[in-house]
């Protein structure tokens, strides 16, 4: 079933409902743009109070993927799947096989992989039903596997470059507050520690926090205190919408650079950050490492291509921050404008 939602964003193409074999709806696949290639983006598995919230999240995330893929110079459009995590017990493999059927029914218009709440094992269940999936277990000498270490690498390199650019300092001795210590957040914490940064961390999952406190000597704070923690840099690595009218006035960090998608609740929040003199590294610019790895796996590119593309992320960020500073425009606006321009060129070329 395909319908066009009322909440149309700038390039919105389609929303596809994902259902079980019994016809029970379990989520959606949002395709934002296929101007540059098949729509690529991970599958989020999360609990939403309302179906409308799930769909709105999928649409925003799909747009972010279009922009991310365009700026990362990948031959991919943008899409995202969001599945509702059931409250009680459920057959996980059956759910991801049903999702695989939905991906297959789109005939390659959408390519999936991991996102929040999904794993390499889930993608293996999807693979039973479709070949339009990446993030599968890596074969020796080939690209593939869990994308999150690559995402963490891109965020880390971006943070190091942005710290020099905006704070005039290397990470050694700086304090970084990391919100969310899941796959990306934990990997990022390890790299930061190795670079000599001090860590303040929070996660709703206390076991994850305790493990990193023991391993890295990080300082734990409550989930309500992490955004306003005393830190030089804030790295949002949990869910979106954390930078908003309520949180921005409380921030102490002077630089924000993290993995979470859609960190700004609205575009205007980018202006509010700029007005406070806080440098914001646009999320989809710095967190492209994962999709770069997914793309290489899907397109059969060698691991060296992944390294090369990830090495381009930090210089791309600095070019954006530099323009933002020179033109006195928020960095998210500079990034969005560049991404839209690339997509528009792709649309014209395809027409
Ligand atoms: P994950 O599911 O492994 O980790 C997310 C962590 O955030 C979990 O430990 C969860 O308990 C925690 N969390 C949730 N709400 C929280 C809150 N209010 N306060 C503190 N902690 C909270 O997910 P992953 O893969 O690490 O992704 C993190 C973010 O990065 C997500 O926004 C994701 O979309 C984004 N991202 C991930 C990529 C990847 O390669 N995994 C690629 C690009 C973006």
Q: Which residues are catalytic?
A: 80
The two three-digit tokens of residue 157, written as one number: 């390199």
What residues are in contact with ligand 1 under a 6 Å CB criterion?
Answer: 114-117, 147-148, 151, 179-185, 202-205, 208, 223, 237-239, 259-261, 287, 290
Position 139 in a domain:
no
Query: pLDDT, tens digit, for every residue of 136-174?
Result: 988 888 888 888 999 999 999 999 999 999 999 999 999
Q: According to the model, what pLDDT value does residue 199 have? A: 98
Total domains present in the chain: 2
> Which residues are within 8 A (CB) of 184 and not within 5 positions of it... i.e. 6 or more apart?
148, 151, 152, 155, 237, 259, 287, 290
Smallest CA separation from ligand 1 atom 42, residue? 290
Is 14 found in the same domain as 116? yes
Is 185 found in the same domain as 283? yes
Q: According to the model, what pLDDT value does residue 142 have? A: 84
Q: According to the model, what pLDDT value does residue 12 have? A: 64
Distances (CA, A) of 32 to 5, 281, 349: 12, 23, 18
Smallest CA separation from ligand 1 atom 23, residue? 116
Mutation probe of ligand 1 site: the residue of 181, 239, 288 with most atoms within 8 A of C-beta: 239
Position 346 in a domain:
no
Find the 182 Cα to ligand 1 centroid distance in Å: 6
Among the listed residues 179, 176, 149, the one whose alpha carbon sits nearest the alpha carbon of residue 293? 149
Question: What is d(CA 68, CA 151) in angstroms, rounded to the nearest whole number?
Answer: 12
What's the chain's length in residues? 351
Q: Assess whether pLDDT exceeds 50 at residue 5.
A: no
Find the 180 Cα to ligand 1 centroid distance in Å: 6
Q: Looking at residues 18-29, what average pLDDT do you find?
A: 94
> Which residues are within 8 A (CB) of 31 and not within 5 positions of it... i.e. 6 or more apart?
13, 14, 15, 16, 39, 62, 77, 78, 79, 106, 109, 110
Binding residues for NAD(+): 180-185
Question: What is d(CA 304, CA 143) in angstroms, rounded to the nearest whole number?
Answer: 9
Query: pLDDT, tens digit, for every residue of 88-126?
Result: 999 999 999 999 999 999 999 999 999 989 999 999 999
CATH (domain of 52): 3.40.50.10860
Is 334 found in the same domain as 205? yes
Position 228 in a domain:
yes
Position 222 in a domain:
yes
Q: pTM of the prediction?
A: 0.92
**Cβ burial, residue 280 (10 Å; 0-12/13-18/19+):** buried
Residue 61 CA, closest ligand 1 atom number? 34
Residue 262 CA, closest ligand 1 atom number? 32
- What residue numbers bound the domain in which 32 lies? 2-66+77-127
Burial 216-237 (b: 16+ CB within 10 A, else e): bebbbbeeeebbbbebbbbbbb
């Amino acid at each position: 079933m395909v319908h066009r939602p009322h909440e149309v964003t700038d390039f919105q193409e389609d929303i596809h409902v994902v259902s079980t074999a019994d016809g029970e709806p379990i989520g959606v696949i949002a395709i934002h743009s296929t101007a540059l290639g098949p729509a690529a983006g991970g599958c989020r598995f999360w609990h939403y109070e309302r179906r409308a919230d799930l769909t709105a999240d999928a649409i925003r995330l799909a747009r972010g993927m279009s922009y991310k893929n365009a700026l990362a110079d990948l031959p991919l459009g943008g899409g995202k799947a969001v599945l509702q995590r059931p409250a009680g017990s459920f057959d996980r493999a059956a759910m991801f096989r049903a999702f695989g059927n939905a991906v297959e029914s789109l005939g390659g218009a959408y390519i999936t992989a991991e996102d929040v709440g999904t794993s390499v094992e889930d993608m293996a269940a999807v693979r039973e039903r479709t070949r339009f999936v990446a993030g599968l277990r890596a074969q020796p000498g080939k690209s593939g596997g869990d994308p999150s270490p690559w995402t963490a690498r891109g965020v880390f390199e971006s943070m190091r470059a942005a710290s020099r650019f905006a704070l005039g300092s290397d990470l050694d001795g700086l304090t970084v507050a990391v919100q969310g210590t899941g796959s990306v957040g934990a990997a990022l914490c390890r790299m930061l520690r190795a670079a000599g940064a001090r860590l303040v961390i929070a996660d709703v999952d206390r076991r994850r926090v305790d493990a990193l406190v023991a391993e890295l000597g990080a300082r734990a704070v409550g989930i309500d205190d992490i955004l306003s923690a005393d830190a030089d840099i804030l790295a949002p690595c949990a869910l979106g919408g954390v930078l908003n009218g309520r949180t921005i006035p409380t921030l102490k960090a002077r630089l924000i650079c993290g993995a979470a998608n859609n960190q700004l609740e609205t575009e205007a929040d980018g202006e509010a950050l700029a007005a406070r003199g806080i440098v914001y590294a646009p999320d989809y610019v710095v967190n492209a490492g994962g999709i770069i790895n997914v793309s290489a796996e899907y397109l059969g590119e060698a691991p060296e291509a992944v390294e090369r593309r990830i090495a381009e992320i930090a210089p791309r960020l600095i070019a954006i921050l530099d323009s933002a500073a020179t033109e006195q425009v928020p960095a998210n606006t500079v990034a969005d404008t560049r991404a839209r321009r690339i997509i528009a060129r792709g649309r014209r070329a395809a027409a």
